Structure 1
Amino acid sequence: MGLLAIIAVFLVGVTHRALANQHITEHPQDVTSFIGKTVLLRCSIADKQGTAIWLKDEQRLSSNYDVTVEEERYDIVGATPSSDYDLEISNTTLRDSGEYFCRVTSRGDDPQANSRKAKLTIIDQTPSPPTIKILTTRATTQPVESTTKDETTTVTAGEENIKQKMTTVQTKLASEGNPRGVPYWAWIILAICLAIIIAAVIVGFLYLRTKMTGTPASV
């Protein structure tokens, strides 16, 4: 009986010791958030004996409740002291994206324990600038329809039509002082001929008057 009692006490002690080893009871979960937000990665440890630390991509960030990197946006918080070691990241940026996990270091007979790795993804929610599309067409092509909201405007590319209008304007400007389109040198010749005719008429009139009156005419 004495031997059986000793064996039973030994088994109970071993079982209790095995059950009392430090272990992680709440693991961090994957999180997707936006720039400038605050995220919380949870980690709870039962029967903690060692040191609780957080790591990002295998880089150590904290020791228990102290942040060990130069980053004011990181903080270790917990509702239950010596049990909860949650990592809080405020004003998140794109460089906060990565894999995080918590660890409790070994101490004495308590082995090291690691949580699952949680992926933090930070998204840039800044809207991208609108894209402006410019449509170009060759001359004499079909009309191009460009729609803005509820209004539809038809744009016709007609270089030949523009050339015809320019020619018409130039012709009109050139003929303002010459309505019939007759060359200027022709007008000069016509004026000279008219002057000769007028002079001949005057000379003839004076000659007839001289014959009729018998007195010489003075011009």
Structure 2
Amino acid sequence: MEKTFSLRRLEIVEQRPMIGDFKDRWPALFQESGVNEEFMRITTKPLQAKFLAQLDHFSEKLFQIFKSKGGVTGQKIKMILAIKDECDDVDIRRECVLKSLIIYLNEDPNSLFKEYLPSAAEDAENDIVTTVMGIHIVRRDEFGEPDDVGVVIEGVKVLTNVGSPIMAFILLFGLIYALDLTFPDNLKYTFEFVQKILMNLDGHRLNTKIQQLKIKLFM
């Protein structure tokens, strides 16, 4: 994969191939290790390690900021944080941080995380076809251990059984870079926060909303 990197980037940038076709030609890229390695080649930063370290570093401060939010947004966040307080699983805690962040930024986590019961697996597969970018989760209980977690891009389930929703988000973020995709408009603030605050990529110019959150983080 290292030797073919320049060829792959040229194909992505100039030809803009369909995701399904590109996955057939470069299957090794669509694995956890492949995404991490490609992200490192593009940005020189370790994707998974840096994301998790930064998210954990800011978690307590973010929880304080989230708890101060009032109104309808504050109530939605409160419901998610209540789940976090009842569980000591680190992946669920990270998932709560991310979902609370999305809500805090006035975006909708349900537009990204598509959750289904095992009995609705057929509905999940049907929805995949119409999903531009998302994370499909099959589990029996809310915030319980999932039966399956997959990443979907352009109606194609490009990754399956990735272990947890937070890992799926990390890999989706990495694939956006690997495939030279744009952030989804309905989650642009969330992805900008991850890009510029957590991953320290192109962090010189910040949207006003992200700048205000950054100031609160470092107060």
| Structure ranking higher on relative contact order (CA contacts 8 Å, 6+ apart) | 2
Q: Which has the higher strand share?
A: 1
Which structure has the highest helix share of the two?
Answer: 2
Report the TM-score when normalising by structure 2: 0.19
Say which one has the larger Rg. 1
